[in-house]
Structure 1
Amino acid sequence: MQADIEIYVLSCPTEKIISWLENTFTLVRKSSPSPLCSKVIIASNDNEIEVTILEQAAGKRFTSIWFDSDKTPWDDDIACARQAFEYLNCEVRCNFQGWEEESNQDPDQWWRINSHEEGPFIWN
């Protein structure tokens, strides 16, 4: 189980991301602390999970979706990315493996899902 889940979506409107969350979970609360940042609280299996949606998180075209909880329904970032891609139909990227301190993984090694392919790649 991962401490949190974070994925990046390419050129995907925040409203569409929130729609995915509303269709997948129970939306408890929604706020917009800044023009580029939205926060939602979702309920999943009797757990409330804070989700931060940050536009322009990686360059101007990528939006970060960060689930700040170890109680998400996914085993890892890739499982979340797959579900997001199915609903959002836009390219999704995430860490290739869960981030671990002292791990030997390449920090530029990512997982990408789009309409052409799914698999590891170097994002730099």
Structure 2
Amino acid sequence: MQPDIEIYVLSCPTDTIVSWLSQTFTLLEQSQPTPLCTKVTLEFNGHTIPVTILEQASGKRFTSIWFDSSHTPWETDILCAKDAYSSLNCEVRCNYQGWEEEGDQDPDQWWKINSHGEGPFVWN
């Protein structure tokens, strides 16, 4: 089980992301500490899940969505990315291998889902 989940969405407004999250989770709190950062607190199956939505996280067009919890409905970043793509209809990227304490991970190896399909690629 991953300790957290993080995905990146292309050209997707924060309001749209929060609406998507509200379909799966109970939205408990929302704040905007900076113009590019929105923090939400969600509830899922009795667990509180802090989420940070950071615009322009990778270049000007990608927004990071970071779930700081192991209690999401997804076991991996890729499963979260698939769900996000089907709801948000925008390109979604995530780490290909997920999180490991040790191992031979390639930090540039990513998974991409868009209208052309999905698969691994190098994002650097």
Structure 2 counterpart of 1:107, one-letter code: P
Can you list the C-alpha shifts for 1:24-77, whole angstroms capped at 9, x where unaligned? 211000000000000001111110100000000000000000000011111100
Q: Secondary structure at the match of 2:41?
A: strand
Q: Distance in 2 between matches of 1:95 and 1:117?
A: 17
Greater shift in the superposed pair: 97-106 or 36-45: 97-106
- Segments of structure 2 that go 5 or more residues without pairing to the other structure are none
Q: Distance in 1 between matches of 2:12 and 2:96?
A: 21
Aligned to 1:99: 99
**Superposition TM-score, scaled by structure 1 size:** 0.97
Q: Distance in 1 between matches of 2:102 and 2:61?
A: 30
* Deviation >3 Å, runs of 4+: none
Structure 2 counterpart of 1:98, one-letter code: G
Aligned to 2:5: 5
Q: Distance in 1 between matches of 2:45 and 2:110?
A: 29
Can you list the C-alpha shifts for 1:74-97, whole angstroms capped at 9, x where unaligned? 110000000000110000000001
Q: How many residues align?
A: 124
**Superposition TM-score, scaled by structure 2 size:** 0.97
Matches within 5 A, 1:38-77: 38-77=38-77
Q: Distance in 1 between matches of 2:101 and 2:69?
A: 18
Aligned to 1:22: 22
Structure 2 counterpart of 1:86, one-letter code: S
Cα RMSD over matched residues? 0.7
Paired-residue identity, %: 70
- Segments of structure 1 that go 5 or more residues without pairing to the other structure are none
